[in-house]
Amino acid sequence: MIEGRKLRTLRGHSGKVYHASFSPDGRASATASYDNTVKLWKPDGSLLATLEGHSDGVLHVSFSPDGQTLTTASYDGTIKLWTLDGTLISTLRGHRDGVNAAVCSPDGQTLATASNDHTILLWTLTQMSDLNHLLSQGCTLLQDYRRSLSALEQGRLAECESGE
């Protein structure tokens, strides 16, 4: 027989909480709420981050198999991929109604989403991973380039960026 006892109560959402999930390593948990947010928690119950970006209730949250990404499914019909610091990576659109669940395959390459529109969609995640890697490389190159500019060249670059 399995018995349980309450360890702690997590408070912070202003709406109904629909789903909770643990990271694969157990070092964090996440909760999805009808208040349009996801909250990321430490094991001691303290809040790590609040993920905001959905325009309606969040019905499901899950961690990627490597524990580095969160996937959220919302009644707004979108699926969002996030870093653990709360940065939005991507928004997936394809369902015609609220999305009830989103789960990664064990290898992290495929995402399955289930919706009120009576469909399950399968998404490949490798292209997004490759794109994020390319964007990261591009940002690093740009930062290195900016550091190498003289003060005069940086001033000209700033003028160009401001449109003046």
State residue 140's pLDDT score.
Answer: 59
Q: What is the pLDDT of residues 61-101, one digit of tens each?
A: 999 999 999 999 999 999 999 999 999 999 999 999 999 99
DSSP three-state, residue 161: helix
- The structure's pTM equals 0.75
Pair (87, 12) in one structural domain: yes
How many structural domains is the chain composed of?
A: 2
Range of the domain at 137: 126-164
Q: Identity (one letter) of the amino acid at 54? A: H
Do 30 and 63 touch, CB atoms closer than 8 A? yes
Pair (147, 115) in one structural domain: no
Do 137 and 145 touch, CB atoms closer than 8 A? no
> What's the rounded Cα separation, in Å, for the pair 34 and 56?
7
Q: What percent of the chain has pLDDT over 90?
A: 74
Pair (62, 139) in one structural domain: no
Pair (110, 130) in one structural domain: no
Pair (102, 133) in one structural domain: no
The candidate with the shortest Cα–Cα distance to 41, out of 54, 22, 55, is 22
Is residue 132 over pLDDT 60? no
Pair (145, 91) in one structural domain: no
Q: What is the pLDDT of residues 42-72, one digit of tens each?
A: 999 999 999 999 999 999 999 999 999 999 9
Pair (157, 88) in one structural domain: no
State residue 129's pLDDT score.
Answer: 45
Helix (H) or strand (E) holding 155: helix 151-162
Mean pLDDT of the chain: 88
Do 49 and 38 touch, CB atoms closer than 8 A? no
Pair (28, 93) in one structural domain: yes
The candidate with the shortest Cα–Cα distance to 43, out of 70, 7, 17, is 7
